[in-house]
Amino acid sequence: MDYGEILSKAWKTIWKHKILWLFGLLAGCGAANNGGGNASSANNASNAIQESSQNGRWDVPTYISPSTRYAIEDFFQTLANIPVWVWILIALGIVAVVIFVSVICLFLRNLGNTGLIKGASMADQAGEDDKPLSLGEILKGVQTSYWKVLLFDIGSSVAIFMATFILIVPIVILAACTCGLGMLLMIPIGWFLSVMINFSMIAMVDEELPIFQAISRAWQMIINNVGQVLVMFLILGIGQILVGLAISLPLLFAVVPVIVALVTSGLEGLTIGLVISGVLFLAFLPIMIFLGSVLRAYVLVSWTLTYRRLVENEALKPEVIKKLEDPD
Identify the pLDDT of residue 253. Answer: 81
Would you say residue 226 has pLDDT above 80? yes
> What gap in Å lies between CA 298 and CA 304, rounded to an integer?
10
Identify the pLDDT of residue 72. Answer: 67
> What gap in Å lies between CA 304 and CA 251, rounded to an integer?
31
Average pLDDT over every residue of 255-277: 74
User: Which is more confident, 187 or 214?
Assistant: 214
| SS3 per residue for the chain | CCHHHHHHHHHHHHHHCCHHHHHHHHHCCCCCCCCCCHHHHHHHHHHHHHHHHHHCCCCCCCCCCHHHHHHHHHHHHHHHCCCHHHHHHHHHHHHHHHHHHHHHHHHHHHHHHHHHHHHHHHHHHCCCCCCCCCHHHHHHHCCCCHHHHHHHHHHHHHHHHHHHHHHHHHHHHHHHHCCCHHHHHHHHHHHHHHHHHHHHHHHHHHCCCCHHHHHHHHHHHHHHCHHHHHHHHHHHHHHHHHHHHHHHHHHHHHHHHHHHHHHHHHHHHHHHHHHHHHHHHHHHHHHHHHHHHHHHHHHHHHHHHHHHHHHHHHHHCCCCCCCCCCCC
Calculated CA dihedral for residues 142, 147, 151, 152, nearest 10 degrees: -20
User: Which is more confident, 32 or 54?
Assistant: 54
Identify the pLDDT of residue 66. Answer: 60
Would you say residue 4 has pLDDT above 50? yes
What is the percent of the chain with per-residue pLDDT over 90, rounded to a whole number?
Answer: 34
Range with lowest mean pLDDT among 70-84, 97-111, 298-312: 70-84
Cα atoms in the 13 Å half-sphere on the side-chain side of 230? 8
Please say whether the beta carbons of 216 and 199 come within 8 A: no
Average pLDDT over every residue of 317-327: 55
Identify the pLDDT of residue 49. Answer: 47
Identify the pLDDT of residue 318. Answer: 62
Identify the pLDDT of residue 203. Answer: 93
Identify the pLDDT of residue 12. Answer: 92
Q: If you ran DSSP here, which 8-state letter would residue 82 be given?
A: S
User: Which is more confident, 66 or 168?
Assistant: 168
Average pLDDT over every residue of 66-83: 69
- Please report, for the chain, the start and end positions of each structural domain, with discontinuous segments joined by +: 3-143+225-314, 144-224
**In Å, how far are 80, 92, 100, 283, 309 from 97, measured between CA atoms?**
25, 9, 5, 26, 43
Please say whether the beta carbons of 84 and 43 come within 8 A: yes
Considering 124-128, 257-261, 291-295, 312-316, the range whose residues carry the highest mean pLDDT is: 291-295
Question: pLDDT tens-digit profile of 252-261?
Answer: 888 887 787 7
Task: From 315, 314, 312, select the one nearest 6 (Cα to Cα).
Answer: 312
Please say whether the beta carbons of 148 and 211 come within 8 A: yes
Identify the pLDDT of residue 254. Answer: 81
Q: Is the dihedral of CA 296, 291, 289, 139 positive or negative?
A: negative
Confidence band, pLDDT 50/70/90 cuts, at residue 128: confident
Identify the pLDDT of residue 171. Answer: 73
